[in-house]
Structure 1
Amino acid sequence: MTECAGHGPADAAAPRGMLRRRPEGWLFKGIYGLVLASALVAALDVPGGEANPGQDALWVLLTALTSGAAHGYAHVIAQRASGGGRAGPGRVRAVIAEWPLAAAVLPTVAMLLAAAAGWWAEDTAADTALVLNTVLLFALGASAARTAGLGRLSSCRAGLLDMLIGLVIIAADALIE
Structure 2
Amino acid sequence: MPDHADHVPSDGAPPRKGLRPRTAELWLFRGIYGLVLASALVAALDVPGEVPDPGEDALWVLLTALASSAAHGYAHVIAQRAVTEGGRRPSRLRAVVAEWPLVAAALPTVCLLLGAVAEWWSEETAADVALLFNTVALLGMGIWAARTAGLRWASSVRAGIMDMLIGVVIIGVYALVE
The answer for unaligned runs of 5 or more in structure 1 is 11-18
RMSD between aligned residues:
1.9
Question: Could you tell me which residue of structure 2 aligns to residue 15 of structure 1?
Answer: none
Instruction: Encode CA deviations 1:4-57: one digit per residue, 9 max, x unaligned.
Output: 6xxx485xxxxxxxx877211111110000000000000000011110001100
* 2:27 aligned with 1:55: no
Name stretches of at least 5 consecutive residues in structure 2 with no aligned partner: 6-18
Give 2:156's aligned residue.
155
Residue 92 of structure 1, CA deviation: 1.0
Asked if structure 1 preserves the Cα contact closer than 8 Å seen for 2:109 and 2:130, the reply is yes
Partner residue, 1:38? 39
Q: Which amino acid aligns with 1:53?
A: P
Distance in 2, matches of 1:87 and 1:95, equals 17
Q: Distance in 1 between matches of 2:4 and 2:162?
A: 27
User: For residues 75 and 40 of structure 1, what CA distance do their matches in structure 2 show?
Assistant: 24
1:37-79 CA deviation, whole Å, 9 max, x = no partner? 0000000000111100011000000000000000000010001
- Residue 175 of structure 2: aligned partner: 174
Q: Count how many residue pairs are aligned between Structure 1 and Structure 2.
A: 165
Rounded to whole Å, the distance in 1 between the matches of 2:74 and 2:86 is 15
The 1:92–1:137 alpha-carbon spacing in structure 2 relative to 1, beyond 3 Å, is: same
2:39 touches 2:130 (CA, 8 Å); kept in 1?
Answer: yes
Distance in structure 1 (CA, Å) of the matches to 2:124 and 2:49:
11
2:27 counterpart letter in structure 1: W
Q: After TM superposition, where is structure 1 displaced by more than 3 Å over at least 4 residues in a row? A: 84-89
**Contact kept? 1:76, 1:87, Cα under 8 Å:** no
**SS state at 1:105 partner:** helix
Amino acid at match of 1:145: A
Corresponding letter in the other structure for 2:165: L
Greater displacement, 79-88 / 153-162: 79-88
What SS does the aligned partner of 1:51 have? coil
Q: 2:100 aligned with 1:99, yes or no?
A: yes
8 Å CA contact 2:80–2:89 kept in 1: the answer is no
Distance 1:155 1:131 in 2: 20
Q: Are the equivalent residues in 2 in contact too, given 1:141–1:162 (CA < 8 A)? A: yes
The answer to which structure, 1 or 2, has the higher relative contact order (CA under 8 A, 6+ apart) is 2
2:146 is aligned to 145
